[in-house]
């Protein structure tokens, strides 16, 4: 399943561009890899795409061409790249089936590894308050990272509460985190205390997407074909 996003277009210029449509309706085709691509993050003029060939590719959106490859023999993933996000300062954080988190510089192809997960990483998100990020996956735990610290000391906390692999995360402005797992359960976490404040076991299939409508309402989508709206 894909991600569930709540989108609000507030900018008049953004609305105008949307109404006009693309300047070139044919689009731009970039042949990045002969393997399937799994994930994407966009910040400013850069899109970063993660691939099953173990690499990530930076795209200069304005120029419509590849700007960098995030993979070397010394740095990067050794398995499929499953998730990626930009930090507000331009750095890139990626997760893979190799249970590695790679923290890439804002430019170039240098990275540091963040150790902590024991299984494939399914999702990574940067929080609005820089430079904190969260990651989760098949070890059923959520890791909270302070990326202002050295990578050896970046792991702030490890949150346990799901009985099945975690597939999706979404943060609210009120220091709450929503998560969904393969067991059909969504959880609400208080990041200030590291505790589960609510559990929502209403779905009949994997919870594949979560999104906040506002600070007190969260939405979940699942493989049972339903979207549920919850008061937190």
What is the token pair recorded at 7?
């989108």
**Distance of alpha carbon 147 from alpha carbon 130, whole angstroms:** 8
| pLDDT for 111 beyond 90 | yes
pLDDT, tens digit (0-9, with 9 covering 90-100), for 152-204: 899 999 999 999 999 999 999 888 999 999 999 999 999 989 999 999 998 99
Strand segments, DSSP code E, in 127-194 are: 132-137, 141-146, 155-160, 166-171, 176-181, 186-190
Quote the mean pLDDT of the chain. Answer: 90
pLDDT, tens digit (0-9, with 9 covering 90-100), for 6-63: 544 444 555 565 566 667 777 788 999 999 999 999 999 999 999 999 999 999 999 9
pTM of the full predicted structure?
0.87
Strands of the sheet containing 65-70, edge to edge, are 37-43, 46-51, 56-60, 65-70
pLDDT of residue 25: 76
pLDDT band at 205 (very low <50, low <70, confident <90, very high): very high
Instruction: Identify the residue with better confidence: 78 or 129.
Output: 78
pLDDT, tens digit (0-9, with 9 covering 90-100), for 132-153: 999 999 999 999 999 999 988 9
DSSP helix/strand/coil, 12 = helix
From 196, 199, 231, 200, select the one nearest 217 (Cα to Cα).
231
Given CA atoms 55, 61, 66, 70 in this order, what sign does their dihedral have?
Answer: negative
Instruction: Identify the residue with better confidence: 13 or 110.
Output: 110
Question: What are residue 96's DSSP bridge partners?
Answer: 81
Instruction: Identify the residue with better confidence: 124 or 151.
Output: 124
pLDDT of residue 17: 56
């Amino acid at each position: 399943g894909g991600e569930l996003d709540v989108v609000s277009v507030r900018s008049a210029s953004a609305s105008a561009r949307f109404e006009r449509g693309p300047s070139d309706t044919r689009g731009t085709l970039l042949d990045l890899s002969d393997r399937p691509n799994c994930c994407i993050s966009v910040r400013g003029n850069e899109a970063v795409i993660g691939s099953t060939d173990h690499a990530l590719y930076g795209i200069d959106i304005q120029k419509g061409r590849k700007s960098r490859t995030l993979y070397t023999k010394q740095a990067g993933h050794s398995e499929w790249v499953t998730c990626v996000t930009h930090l507000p300062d331009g750095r890139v954080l990626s997760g893979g089936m190799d249970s590695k988190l790679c923290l890439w510089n804002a430019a170039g192809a240098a990275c540091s590894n963040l150790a902590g997960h024991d299984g494939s990483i399914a999702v990574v998100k940067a929080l609005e308050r820089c430079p904190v990020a969260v990651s989760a996956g098949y070890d059923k735990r959520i890791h909270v990272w302070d990326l202002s610290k050295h990578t050896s000391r970046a792991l702030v906390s490890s949150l346990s509460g799901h009985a099945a692999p975690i597939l999706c995360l979404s943060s609210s402005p009120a220091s709450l985190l929503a998560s969904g797992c393969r067991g059909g359960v969504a959880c609400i976490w208080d990041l200030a205390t590291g505790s589960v404040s609510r559990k929502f076991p209403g779905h009949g299939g994997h919870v594949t997407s979560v999104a906040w409508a506002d600070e007190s309402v969260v939405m979940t989508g699942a493989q049972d074909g339903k979207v549920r709206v919850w008061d937190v």
